[in-house]
Amino acid sequence: GAVVSQHPSWVICKSGTSVKIECRSLDFQATTMFWYRQFPKQSLMLMATSNEGSKATYEQGVEKDKFLINHASLTLSTLTVTSAHPEDSSFYICSASTGLTNEKLFFGSGTQLSVL
């Protein structure tokens, strides 16, 4: 099956710094990538939809200036958490789609962010 690689798998940073998370589709071209956030013992919450070559679409309540998304190529999307605070500590997961209707989505392995 298709492989989505996410890097890093975990990161610890100081409050106020920025952290970049990468999501790559390794064997297919992803016109659309999705970013989710998951707090402990909770479900995945969609943060934003990332379309190659255009601006990301953010879900209600997600600050676009805080969570910067770049989808510069068909195989890479990045999520940058700017000026991170302890409340941003969470498990961030990406998924990738070729854009075909109702296809299976493939998820990355997730990034655990801990902000001190």
Partner 1 sequence: GESVGLHLPTLSVQEGDNSIINCAYSNSASDYFIWYKQESGKGPQFIIDIRSNMDKRQGQRVTVLLNKTVKHLSLQIAATQPGDSAVYFCAETYSSNTGKLIFGQGTTLQVKP
Site map 70..109 versus partner 1, x via CB under 8 A: ---------------------x-x-x-x-xxxxxxxxxxx
Cite the beta strand spans of the chain per DSSP E.
Answer: 4-7, 10-13, 19-25, 32-38, 44-51, 57-58, 67-73, 76-81, 90-97, 106-107, 111-115
SS3 87: helix
Site map 10..49 versus partner 1, x via CB under 8 A: ----------------------x-x-x----xxxxxx--x
Among 21, 81, 110, 113, the residue binding partner 1 under the rule CB under 8 A is: 110
Least distance between partner 1 and beta carbon 4 (Å): 8
Least distance between partner 1 and beta carbon 74 (Å): 15
Of 79, 78, 77, nearest in space to 31 by CA: 77
SS3 86: helix
Residue linked to tokens 């605070």: 85
The footprint of partner 1 (CB under 8 A) covers 1, 4, 6, 32, 34, 36, 41-46, 49, 91, 93, 95, 97, 99-110, 112
